Amino acid sequence: MLEVNNVTICYDTAMVLDQASLKVEKGELVGLVGPNGAGKTTLLRAISGLIKWEKDISKGTTGANVTIEGTVEFEGKRIDKMSASEIARRGLVLCPERGRPFPEMTVKENLLAGAHMCKNKAQVKDNFSRVYDLFPRLKEREKQISGTLSGGERQMLCIGRALMHQPKLMLVDEPSSGLAPKLKEDLFKRVEEIYHDLGVTVLLAEQDISFTFDLAKRSYVMSRGHVVAHGTPQELLHDETIRKTYLGL
Ligand SMILES: Nc1ncnc2c1ncn2[C@@H]1O[C@H](COP(=O)(O)OP(=O)(O)O)[C@@H](O)[C@H]1O
Ligand SMILES: [Mg+2]
């Protein structure tokens, strides 16, 4: 379903991704683990079209010169160089790390904003009930201004907003980041439901190895811009070098 081949990204002279490759098949939940700064977010942003794919140097959001190489295929079609909205329209949706809903809008308005590409009203209604079934808390708070939500609720809203796009493949970037253990566990359960009950294929980027290995049958391990290993939790944990050097266990 998703095939990333040799993606290399440099900010000015710093190489942030070095020939990163991975594959996700339809119906899988795949992990992407690695410590802070490994390049997980950069890779997910590049896949979803948020880093401009150009042959030549372009200006990044921070003003750094960005160079990017490699290819990304989604459902057999090249999507690198497509715009982020075109990629989302095809059903590949990013739930960003520490995603920020529009703070002055209500929960419901934010969810509606996630559905802007869907013209079918019945479908939008269906998507709303799916999101509210998954996160009853969002239903309770649908009229609340999003800027006043707690960290956990904001994270639910970001996942909910991504679901309003009716994704085929969802890239979930560190959903548990900054949350208390109980909330964290709860959020991972919801991610599992999105995969298991809603049938959405998931690529989950996480620093939390134990939760990720519980959920994902196989994972890619990233370190300093490289995909250094790949396998089932058993394979990865069995290899002492991988376990000690890259997983820190
Ligand atoms: N816009 C940017 N400009 C320059 N460097 C960046 C930018 N975004 C990310 N980086 C650098 O890329 C590296 C990988 O970051 P990131 O993809 O956020 O890793 P992770 O998500 O695994 O923590 C880090 O060293 C980070 O400082
Ligand atoms: Mg990150």
Domain boundaries along the sequence of the chain: 2-246
Considering only residues 68 and 201, tell me which one the structure prediction assigns the higher pLDDT.
201
Considering only residues 78 and 60, tell me which one the structure prediction assigns the higher pLDDT.
78
The mean pLDDT of 176-193, rounded to a whole number, is: 90
- Ligand found nearest the CA of 18: 1
What's the CA-to-centroid distance between 32 and ligand 2, angstroms? Answer: 10
Cα 115 to Cα 125: distance, rounded to the nearest angstrom: 10
The mean pLDDT of 239-245, rounded to a whole number, is: 88
Evaluate: CB of 110 within 6 angstroms of ligand 1: no
Query: What residues have CB less than 8 Å from 38, skipping those under 6 apart?
Result: 222, 223, 224, 225
Model pLDDT, residue 180: 87
Which atom number of ligand 1 is nearest to the Cα of residue 222? 22
The mean pLDDT of 148-173, rounded to a whole number, is: 93
Model pLDDT, residue 246: 82
Site to probe by mutation for ligand 1, drawn from 8, 16, 51, 66 as the one with most ligand atoms within 8 Å of Cβ, is 16
What's the CA-to-centroid distance between 45 and ligand 1, angstroms? Answer: 11
Model pLDDT, residue 14: 86
- Using left for φ > 0, alpha for ψ between -120 and 50, and beta otherwise, residue 37 falls in left
The whole-chain average pLDDT of the chain stands at 90
* pLDDT tens-digit series, residues 57-73: 455 555 667 888 899 99
Cα 191 to Cα 172: distance, rounded to the nearest angstrom: 9
The mean pLDDT of 92-117, rounded to a whole number, is: 88
Model pLDDT, residue 61: 57
Evaluate: CB of 13 within 6 angstroms of ligand 1: no
Evaluate: CB of 16 within 6 angstroms of ligand 1: yes
Instruction: Determine which residue's CA is closest to atom 16 belonging to ligand 1.
Output: 39
Q: How confident is the model at residue 241 (pLDDT cuts 50, 70, 90)?
A: confident
The mean pLDDT of 99-104, rounded to a whole number, is: 86
Evaluate: CB of 42 within 6 angstroms of ligand 1: yes
Evaluate: CB of 146 within 6 angstroms of ligand 1: no
Query: What residues have CB less than 8 Å from 212, skipping those under 6 apart?
Result: 31, 33, 204, 206, 219
Evaluate: CB of 38 within 6 angstroms of ligand 1: yes
Model pLDDT, residue 55: 44
Range from 155-159, 174-178, 231-235 carrying the lowest mean pLDDT: 174-178
User: Is residue 13's pLDDT more than 90?
Assistant: no
Evaluate: CB of 39 within 6 angstroms of ligand 1: yes
Cα 232 to Cα 216: distance, rounded to the nearest angstrom: 8
What's the CA-to-centroid distance between 122 and ligand 1, angstroms? Answer: 40
- Ligand found nearest the CA of 173: 2
Evaluate: CB of 183 within 6 angstroms of ligand 1: no
Which class does domain 2-246 fall in?
alpha beta
What's the CA-to-centroid distance between 16 and ligand 1, angstroms? Answer: 6
Q: Which residues pair with 97 in a beta bridge?
A: none
User: Is residue 28's pLDDT more than 80?
Assistant: yes
Model pLDDT, residue 53: 56
